[in-house]
Amino acid sequence: MARKRKKAAKKRPVPTNPTLYARVKEQAKRKFKVYPSAYANGWLVKTYKAKGGRYRMGTGRKRK
């Protein structure tokens, strides 16, 4: 008999300053023709960290 496993929540980096992250994300969307792309996301992370943003490990957004 097969047992069903409960899916574990994936831990992923979550920005600690969502306002700053959103602002930088909008800049990335304007700067790059293709978003999301590896270059655009790399630029986003680099710029976000340069402006003082940090990440924490979490499960993402809280669902209501």
Q: For residue 63, give the DSSP letter.
A: P
The pLDDT tens digits of the residues spanning 3-42 come to 777 667 788 999 999 999 999 999 999 999 999 999 999 9
Task: Check residue 64 and give its pLDDT.
Answer: 58
Task: Check residue 59 and give its pLDDT.
Answer: 79
Q: Give the residue carrying structure tokens 């980096």.
A: 13
The pair of three-digit structure tokens given for residue 41, joined into one six-digit string? 């996301």
Q: Which of 53, 47, 12 is nearest to 26 (CA)?
A: 47
Cα gap 45→54, rounded to integer Å: 9
- The model's confidence at residue 58, banded by pLDDT at 50, 70 and 90, is confident
Percent helix / strand / coil, the chain, rounded to 5: 40, 10, 45
Residue 18 vs residue 64, higher pLDDT:
18
